[in-house]
Amino acid sequence: MKDNQIGRLLRDLWLDLQEPDIFWQVVVLAGCVLAAWWLAQLLRWRAPEDSSRALKHGAAAFRRVLFPLLAMLLLFAGRAVLGQWHKTNLLSVAVPLFGSLAGIRCVVYLLRLSFSQSAWLDASERAIALLVWGALVLHLTGILPELVDLLEGIRLPVGRQALSLWTLASVAFWVLVTLLLALWVGGVLEARLLRSQQLDSSLRVVFARLARAVILVAAVLVVLPLLGVDLTVLSVFGGALGVGLGFGLQKIASNYVSGFIILLDRSIRIGDLITADNQHGVVTRITTRYAVLRSLAGVEAIIPNDALVTTTVLNHSYTDKQVRVAVRLQVAYGTQIEPVQALLAEIAL
């Protein structure tokens, strides 16, 4: 193992643990952490309910990183003061740990913005923390450079090139980071388009979907050349995708194209009352794969877009939003009909 400065720091820390001076480092560490927690509670700020979405997201991100950043700054100051009389190896190790905690919270928050309805984030937050702290431990112990050299020596043929395992891992990491940023930007742009009142609801959905797809493709095409990857490598994956579309992904591709057809020709729009595939209800959502029908009883049916294009669909509100809904009503024999009709008319209005 290479004898670097950080490795010596860990050895000095082990020696400090066997000396009485460690007491003062523990006191300073505990005091800085408690002070950071108290200041974070004091400075915790929430945006008003009528604030913009960007301001609310900024306030939420500030609250998440406030505690580790305050702890790191206080530990910097405490290390400088205590270093006048005692060794501070424990504090030197604690500083990057709190810095990595701030980075982890930022990453997880960006993931929550990009995948707001994904349940897997709760389970993956711990995995992300372990990954970041594991990389930090490898760096502190000096193993990371040797691991990088080992991965650089393993080369795999990809198309016309032979890429090292470290290059592939770096490409995968930065592509993932770029995609997450692109998803976040696409989500913000999509939210703005969907809130626009100057466009038809169907066109808003189309432009939002296209904007997100264009941003994702552009992000990948930009990051790969920056990492030294020849774009001709993508031809291998393009061929595999074509084979997949030919054999097993026809329905998925058909639903995707059908979704854009429905949104562009506006034959079915959000809010329409339709009957399709033996289902009757109001269209509440149209995605790239399916449409959601909410029946009058509150039951939601998921209809593939392909079925809405290739089968007969009854659109009860295509030209006129005023529709008639038949409701069976029974009254007892001998009931006066006129009061019942008046009551029904009052309820309908």
Q: Which of 221, 248, 275 is the last residue of a domain?
A: 248
The model's confidence at residue 72, banded by pLDDT at 50, 70 and 90, is confident
Q: Is the pLDDT higher at 227 or at 216?
A: 216
Residues 164 and 210 in one domain: yes
The model's confidence at residue 264, banded by pLDDT at 50, 70 and 90, is confident
Residues 80 and 120 in one domain: yes
pLDDT at position 310: 85
Tokens for 92? 């030197």
> 146 in a domain, yes or no?
yes
Residues 91 and 10 in one domain: yes
> 43 in a domain, yes or no?
yes
pLDDT at position 20: 63
Task: State yes or no: pLDDT of 205 exceeds 50.
Answer: yes
> 122 in a domain, yes or no?
yes
State the residue for tokens 């592939």.
168
Phi–psi pair at 194, nearest 5 degrees:
-70, -25
Secondary structure string (H, E, C) spanning 217-237: HHHHHHHHHHCCCCHHHHHHH
Pairing of strands 279-286, 314-315: unpaired
Residues 166 and 191 in one domain: yes
Distance CA(308)–CA(78), nearest Å, equals 66
Q: At what angle do helices 5-16 and 120-141 cross, to 10 degrees?
A: 90
> 327 in a domain, yes or no?
no
Tally of structural domains, the chain: 2
Distance CA(227)–CA(260), nearest Å, equals 34
Distance CA(176)–CA(110), nearest Å, equals 12
Q: What region does 66 belong to: left with phi over 0, alpha with psi -120 to 50, or beta?
A: alpha
- pLDDT mean over 317-327: 73
Residues 193 and 215 in one domain: yes
- pLDDT mean over 35-61: 66
Residues 40 and 55 in one domain: yes
Residues 40 and 86 in one domain: yes
> 111 in a domain, yes or no?
yes
pLDDT at position 327: 74
> 110 in a domain, yes or no?
yes
Task: State yes or no: pLDDT of 74 exceeds 50.
Answer: yes
Q: Is the pLDDT higher at 143 or at 119?
A: 143
DSSP-assigned letter for residue 274: E
Task: State yes or no: pLDDT of 113 exceeds 50.
Answer: yes
Residues 143 and 205 in one domain: no
The model's confidence at residue 3, banded by pLDDT at 50, 70 and 90, is very low
Task: State yes or no: pLDDT of 53 exceeds 60.
Answer: no
pLDDT at position 249: 65
The model's confidence at residue 52, banded by pLDDT at 50, 70 and 90, is low
Q: Among the listed ranges 231-245, 253-267, 315-329, which one has the minimum average pLDDT value?
A: 231-245
Residues 171 and 200 in one domain: yes
- pLDDT mean over 132-145: 68
pLDDT at position 4: 52
Of 235, 324, 212, residue with least CA distance to 273: 324
Question: What residues contact 5, with CB distance under 8 A and at least 6 apart?
Answer: none
The model's confidence at residue 1, banded by pLDDT at 50, 70 and 90, is very low
Task: State yes or no: pLDDT of 196 exceeds 60.
Answer: yes
pLDDT at position 119: 55
Per-residue pLDDT tens for 144-195?
Answer: 777 777 777 777 766 566 677 777 777 777 777 777 777 777 777 767 766 6
> 347 in a domain, yes or no?
no
- pLDDT mean over 226-233: 64
Give percent of the chain with pLDDT exceeding 70.
60
pLDDT at position 348: 72
Per-residue pLDDT tens for 265-293?
Answer: 778 888 888 888 888 888 888 877 888 99
Q: Which of 138, 153, 168 is the last residue of a domain?
A: 153
Q: Among the listed ranges 92-101, 211-220, 225-234, 279-288, which one has the minimum average pLDDT value?
A: 225-234
Residues 147 and 15 in one domain: yes
Residues 165 and 240 in one domain: yes
Q: Which domain does 182 fall in, by range?
A: 156-248
Q: Is the pLDDT higher at 246 or at 83?
A: 83
Structural contact between residues 208 and 196, judged by C-beta atoms closer than 8 angstroms = no
Give percent of the chain with pLDDT exceeding 90.
0
> 264 in a domain, yes or no?
no
Q: Which of 92, 122, 153 is the last residue of a domain?
A: 153
Distance of CA 233 to the CA centre of its chain: 27
Residues 174 and 242 in one domain: yes
